[in-house]
Amino acid sequence: MSSKNVKHFSHPHSLTPLKQEQELVTSNCRGCERPISEPFHGCSKCKYYLHDECLEAPLSISHLAHPSHHLSLLPFPSYSGRSFICNGCGLSGEAFVYHCSLCSFDLHTYCAVSPDTLVLDKHPHELQLVYEPQDRYKFGFTCDLCNADVDLRRWMYNCADCDYGTHLYCGLSNWWPLKPQVEQNNDATISEKAQIHPREESHKDDQPKADDKEAIDARNDCLVTPVLRPQGQKCDCRVGHLSLAMDEVTEIQIQVAKLQNLLSKINMSCTTPQV
């Protein structure tokens, strides 16, 4: 990211590269909603801050979980309540969202870059990221990390051979930016094979001890959100081909998304069942 001021579609003023000690920033990133940390840009006047990873997020992506349409990056949800439920993890969000206005399909920016395979210390086999519910679990499935029920409409990590699986956020708990309202098993850790991007390699040498909960929490808080990479650049994440669809997103796009949502609801309400 440039060390100079930049313009971003999510804010009317230029964003400046900032240092946390200078700003005494205590607010969250307006992109991913996790605590702000360097490197980041911001508008001091408006107290508007973005991690550089969020600032660089592509404006349009193609994702394997929703192959029919591209997903557009919006600075906030287009729904009237200004919040959305992520189709990946099932948690709510109020900031950046990858959105399909035709299908009302929404993803957190960090869910969009979830790795397609995962290796946990607690299980000997590789887990696969599953987008669609499996028939074998039609009567329900319990997360093997937190022991809570898994919403089968959401993504999960699964070992089909062992019937072992986890919530998306439990499997990725070491870098998950939000804290789900689920009690997680404290001895569940992600192995080094499950590192998301090379930027996290800097943390390999300072792993806290398993019984040092405070150190573990501090380490987790310092992990950056995954980087969405441009088209043509290699990436371990199963995001499909990422593409920059435009140089700038304007308020018009947000209004169009709202209008399309409204029209889809009107069409549904006007549809009468055939006799």
Question: Cα(200)–Cα(138) distance, rounded to whole angstroms?
Answer: 37
**pTM of the entire structure?**
0.63
Instruction: Indicate if the pLDDT at residue 174 is higher than 70.
Output: no
Instruction: Indicate if the pLDDT at residue 92 is higher than 90.
Output: yes
Q: Are 169 and 176 in contact (CB under 8 A)?
A: yes
pLDDT, position 181: 46
Instruction: Indicate if the pLDDT at residue 48 is higher than 50.
Output: yes
User: In a 10 Å sphere around its CB, with 0-12 CB exposed, 13-18 middle and 19+ buried, how is residue 255 labelled?
Assistant: exposed
pLDDT, position 20: 75
Residues 204-243: b if buried by 16+ CB within 10 A, e if exposed = eeeeeeeeeeeebeeebeebbbbbbbeeeeebebbbbebe
Residue with tokens 């950056």: 224
pLDDT: is 106 or 253 the higher one?
Answer: 106
Q: Are 42 and 62 in contact (CB under 8 A)?
A: no
